[in-house]
A and B are shown apart, each in its own frame.
Chain A
Amino acid sequence: AQSVSQHNHHVILSEAASLELGCNYSYGGTVNLFWYVQYPGQHLQLLLKYFSGDPLVKGIKGFEAEFIKSKFSFNLRKPSVQWSDTAEYFCAVNAQGNFNKFYFGSGTKLNVKP
């Protein structure tokens, strides 16, 4: 079965620091990759997604992620975080043949200090 690993459970940064959150998945076939974000008291919402094409994907609010197939990774990055980026971030994968089934990582809580 597929699995998704997020190695950073809790990250604390100061404003303007750069962010990189790791995500690795285990599946040898074609996958689609997602980052979801959950701001305090709000729904899970999509940050960005990769289906095919350019492996560097740009999302909302200045976030981007790079799909490295050889490393089974889809790390999330932002050059300069803001206090408003404080949230929990989830990496997710779905696989060819069963695109309805999402596998989620355990999440990374990001606290940005003003």
Chain B
Amino acid sequence: SAVISQKPSRDICQRGTSLTIQCQVDSQVTMMFWYRQQPGQSLTLIATANQGSEATYESGFVIDKFPISRPNLTFSTLTVSNMSPEDSSIYLCSVEDLSGRTGNEQFFGPGTRLTVL
């Protein structure tokens, strides 16, 4: 299984500022995923990040608000731009397990807990 780390683990930010979250994986992976978990709610996929191409965003999420970089096969960043209190959430990075079987499971990072004041 992949080992995933995220930085920062938590942050408290002011309204209108931006925060970049880093995700590092201990092995090369094709696809990386960014999720949001708002208080009391389920995990929601923000976007899928492939190395060498632009990220694919889910409905309700846009690149201007959540720009993503994927410079290589072990690293990705998610930026939360022009933050508002509604962006307070846990942001999780995940990767898929390409074990050769169908229905790939995903491995998750520890998450970044963001509070916007």
Contact = CB atoms under 8 A, between A and B. Distances in A.
Interface of A: 4, 32, 34, 36, 42-46, 49, 51-52, 90, 94, 99-102, 104-107
Nearest to A1: B59
Contacts of B31: 100
A49 B101 CA distance: 12
* Residue picked from A99, A101, A102, most chain B C-beta under 10 Å: A102
Interface of B: 4, 31, 33, 40-45, 48, 92, 96, 101-111
A51 B42 contact: no
Chain A facing B: main interface SS: strand
Contacts of A4: 42
B108 A99 contact: no
B106 A102 contact: yes
Given A43-B108, A100-B31, A49 B103 contact: yes
A43 B109 CA distance: 6
Given A4-B42, A101-B45, A34 B105 contact: yes
B41 A51 contact: no
